A and B are shown apart, each in its own frame.
Chain A
């Protein structure tokens, strides 16, 4: 098992990519601290992960053999993040892997000048600053110990623009900048920091993903039509499956990638290759 004896902390773990990554890690022997806001957020026009969904991810991981600790955390609040990390350390000892996955896709769907100050702040606060806060709470411990792997879930929106998604695209570009800078901060201490950029991931009901649906809704187009647009735009003409992303995360978490840091790994079927 590639992660036997390791502990991973994953934010946004209630559903979607967070759940897919958590279960993949559990299958490879990791124990897991699973964090999620497990509540809706004012200003986000769709329901976020729920406590029930988080418990479901935890159960799936336990059935795969993992020891699991769950925590309810709003990544906009540093104190909450630090508290959850301290608890995870008490339960599991040191953390080996951090996956900063918590993020929101909307409010979106408007041109830059139509975004409100509050909407802009909310998007940056969750998608970019949230990742930084989690790194802040975990990175020092990893550096002190001289090992660790941090995986920031960015997006192809961290590499190219998407019309009417200025806040999201800016935040995800920020994640890539954050990744590269922190990679240099920690490289001497053998802590690796990498960004993972999924393309359009299919809303797999098993992980209760709803990213594509929410993007489609922001753009006011039917989901099927939106999916079709992406499939057409992608050189491999398929949507990405959550397990494809989890596999890449697993590689970045494991020692197989031990010389990989500051890198940006795309799992997008070639979308950004042209």
Chain B
């Protein structure tokens, strides 16, 4: 494999928000007593006259500065450091030379230059000449360029976020620096450092193709030359094409193929540099390769103690925070060691974390206090409450109610009826009932009959129910539906069972808490619904894990809001009944009407509410319109990602000390919830994506595709172990074995969620969406959530959904990002314009469609199937009608044929759905027609037909 190199020059590798100091470097030399001041000045004047005779304002001066303090004092060190860190002007003298004379008469010579005019070896040579240790005679200087490498103009908020950087937006231009020992290097140390940096970046970004910057002095550099000879390269490495560590090192040590075609899409986040000089004065190095940091994370190869090598890490704090920089550098050091020690090892076997760091990472996923809960059966725990306060209300729906005693009695009757009908321990019993008291009675009864309940929603299509009946082997289904599709088994009504149970039945010894309590069918994004089998102890464990923290209490009133086929209802039902609380059953039509539901919450004085964020959004609207306050003291979010920012209005009405909001991440396969994050105004203001730490007894892992833990801040796949892991998928042993794997660190197994996440330093988990949602758009990894978040940041956008369409395999250029927004006035074009200022070009939605409301599924989640076809790509009004003649007419034709939309002279290429792949096609279509050659850059700079034609015309003439 040959990695592709591009040599874009400094201007192209630094971001728009990089300060001048990133490109300036400095050298400090202590002047010994034998260096005479007059002789130094004479040598300086001679050198300057010889090499830089040019205009007076670019001619260097030898400055001298008296420091009123002795060498080594804080003041003296401050002066030296400041002197070395001060950039030179791009348009001023090519070099700054300053002699600092300290109060003890010792002196330092500081030379500072811009890497675009003088490279580090030039400064070293100059220092030798000025101190008389080298003759100036054989030296030649490059003529000064007419224009020094331009540093891009500063923009107040330019620059792309480094995804894993955990940067501090308030840090301004601050650059922090630290050093780590790198150990011995084999071969060219810059190559092995580059290789390590590339491997770490690839793992961090979760992709095989990565770009890093590299700046070094080429081996061919003549030692007698003064000027700018840095080899500035962007290394694009495809790690899928290298096997062994040696291959990787080889591929990076080949001399660069300089390819003029740079994608110019963005600056590299990580880059490597070398510095040759030995360590300097105390903590001040004698040579500064860059005064701040050339790249957001800049790794500088520096000499260490005893002939070993150090890496000096310079990071722009705005982009890469201290913890992230250190973690990255530690990974680089570890990978570097493996690369040099095991050349024949495989690149994919390189570890980012050593044993100690790996253990630390694993500990992050464990709840602080984690005594495993005592395994219990659901029905046994319920019976204890029924024993303790039989008169307390357990269930209510409208005027009907059952006390704990009555509920136990009726469930016992139904259980006896089930047994009489032949239900044996461990049998699967279907339940397809409306949200009623009997729904809960029957669930409890099935458990009391030592069977396993399989809920089905009466509103689900009959085919789905038929699939479940077959798949779960249901011989008995409890349902009041007259047309329930029968299988081989029988359909029984509750009343019938009560009657039958009246005759009494034999009591059977119940199985243990480790046996299944229910099977809930989840519909994955692909394939048929799968039955997830969950044991009793998972549910009782969940209640035990949350009871103290949430202060769950018999005085609480909960609602059963969700469909019994959605596992959020497991938490609602048993969270209430296993803590002695009252459960209010919400009729289906009330659950569909936010206003009626709000009235119910007020009327029933509900204190514990469980909602999906989408449903809660509608409830907040209803609450705003209502004068009656809610009695809710705890809201638990689940089922889908929560955008905390929309909660600010809620806190104004219900302050945190009155109502606690908890965001919980979980999966049916790990029993409803796995984490908890309390959300306060501060989290909402920060728009946190944290779902909190693992529940006591649960355990989180964030792993790479090989199953290794990834460092803090790095995205990986979420695995969940501990008390909530289900038994598996019903009748799918292979899938079960694939998704439920032995947990090497805990008893039992851990579940591979297919969700993306990353740990924050405090062990809380950021949930970053589904692995399936992670899409590639023209080779770039795009997270739809990130786009959605940017849209939601816009004040005019109240809700947003983002999807990808098109087939990347057939034609990458057709991949399209479609966004749907609910707007507060304003038009989509304004939203698009603002988003395009923040998002990189490839992440700007191709279409933006305004809706009155986002469609929701029965479970209250976004329903992508009910989104309308997207609006056609935004296109501003056409400037001209009819086809113009000449070059612009030809151009418009080419654009139309490539882009497949009609093109006006002033339409913006990107607004028409253009992207870099289309740009390449336009270039070749123009060549085919004998039109002038077109560079990418030109198209990006003049993205309309009119401007481009004018530009090309000008070039021709």
Query: A residues touching B (Cβ–Cβ < 8 Å)?
Result: 4-5, 7, 29, 31, 59, 62-63, 65, 67-69, 86-87, 89-94, 141, 145-147, 190, 255
Contacts and interface: CB of A to CB of B under 8 A. Distances in A.
Interface in B415-468: none
A60 to B, nearest CB: 10
Given A89-B92, A90-B93, A190-B156, A63 B68 contact: yes
Contacts of B475: none
A93 B90 CA distance: 8
Given A5-B85, A59-B68, A93-B86, A65 B78 contact: yes
Given A5-B82, A146-B153, A94 B67 contact: no
Nearest to A7: B86
Nearest to B58: A90
Contact of B89 (A4, A65, A93): A93
Given A5-B82, A89-B92, A94-B89, A67 B20 contact: no
Contacts of A59: 68
Given A67-B79, A93-B92, A62 B66 contact: yes
A65 B86 contact: no
Contacts of B75: 63, 65
Contacts of A146: 153-155
Contacts of A91: 61, 63, 96, 98
Interface string B216-238: 00000000000000000000000
A63 B73 CA distance: 12
B154 A145 contact: yes
A59 B98 CA distance: 18
A86 B57 contact: yes
Interface string B28-68: 00000000000000000000000000000100110101111
B88 interface: yes
Interface in B139-172: 153-156, 172
- Nearest first, the 10 closest Cβ-Cβ pairs linking A and B are A146-B154, A89-B92, A93-B87, A93-B89, A146-B153, A93-B88, A90-B93, A89-B89, A65-B78, A94-B89
B83 interface: yes
Given A62-B67, A65-B82, A89-B92, 19 more contacts: A59-B68, A65-B78, A65-B79, A67-B65, A67-B82, A67-B83, A86-B92, A91-B61, A91-B96, A93-B20, A93-B86, A93-B87, A93-B88, A93-B89, A93-B92, A93-B96, A94-B20, A94-B87, A94-B89
A147 B154 contact: yes
B822 to A, nearest CB: 32
Interface of B: 20-21, 24, 57, 60-61, 63, 65-68, 75, 78-79, 82-83, 85-89, 92-93, 96, 98, 153-156, 172
A57 to B, nearest CB: 14
A4 to B, nearest CB: 8
7 contacts: A62-B66, A67-B79, A89-B89, A90-B96, A93-B87, A94-B89, A141-B89
A165 B85 CA distance: 47
A89 B61 CA distance: 11
Contacts of B20: 93-94, 145
B318 to A, nearest CB: 13
Contacts of A4: 82
Contacts of B79: 65, 67
A190 B82 contact: no
A92 B21 CA distance: 12
Contacts of A190: 154, 156
A24 to B, nearest CB: 17
Contacts of B61: 87, 90-91
Contacts of B155: 146
Nearest to B291: A5
Given A62-B66, A146-B153, A255 B82 contact: no
Contacts of B21: 5
A68 to B, nearest CB: 8
A141 B20 CA distance: 14
Nearest to B65: A67
Nearest to B114: A93
A155 to B, nearest CB: 32
